[in-house]
Amino acid sequence: MRDNVFRGIGAYLKAQFKLISITFIVVFAALMLLGVKNALSISLLAAVFDILPLLGVGTIFVPWIIYLFIVGDVSLAIWLTALFLVVVLTRQILEPKITGDTLGVSAFTMLVIMVVSLSLFGVAGVILSPILTILLKALYDQGYLRRWIRLPQGEYDTVQQEPPPNAN
């Protein structure tokens, strides 16, 4: 079971690396198109902050956008707001899909586990949800949960029954 858990943690880290890479590419491309100086540095910093649950790229973008509104650079502030929304929505859509596929569970299952663990444990639940998913999947794969979780009889049978012969 320990090997399955460590394999699951490795898969989760791989999924997070994919998500962080997507964030970096989107932010870097957008900042280059907007002509922002130090686009590479800001994109790397946004990718690093993307690791933080609930804070993410908002840690970089929200203060920056507020500052731009205060100093009067409204055009760049609006474009950065749009970029921030695109990055957050992309992350919210892709995270359950990529993480679920990497861990071997459906995106819906991963999303449900994330929402339930956030509801039960608060901010710590966001950090705990992948660990809980990995642990539950390892327990199920090893057969420890088969006593309580069973597939309905007859619904998932893969054997095809032959049709009865015609009685002429």
Percent of the chain at pLDDT > 70 equals: 83
Q: What is the pLDDT of residues 12-67, one digit of tens each?
A: 888 889 889 999 999 999 999 999 899 999 999 999 888 876 678 888 999 999 99
Residue with tokens 């491309």: 29
Contacts of 140 (CB under 8 A, 6+ apart): 146, 149
Backbone angles phi, psi at 152, to 5 degrees: -60, 140
Kindly tell me if the per-residue pLDDT of 157 is higher than 70.
Answer: no
Predicted pLDDT of residue 65: 93
Instruction: Name the band, by pLDDT with cuts 50, 70 and 90, for residue 164.
Output: low
Collapsing DSSP to helix, strand or coil, 152 comes out as coil
Q: What total number of domains does the chain contain?
A: 1
**Residue listed under structure tokens 């970029």:** 83
Handedness of CA 48, 53, 59, 60 (dihedral sign): positive
Q: Is residue 56 part of a domain?
A: yes
User: Could you report the per-residue pLDDT of 70-89, keeping only the tens digit for each?
Assistant: 999 999 999 999 999 999 89
Range of the domain at 115: 2-141
HSE-CB of 9 using CA atoms within 13 angstroms: 9
What CA–CA distance (Å, rounded) separates 144 from 157? 22
pLDDT of residue 143: 74
In a domain, 37, yes or no: yes
Instruction: Kindly state whether residue 161 falls inside one of the protein's structural domains.
Output: no
Asked, for residue 90, whether it belongs to a domain, the answer is: yes
Look at residue 153 and tell me if it is in a domain. no
Residue 30 lies in a domain: yes
Distance CA 101, CA 109 (A): 10
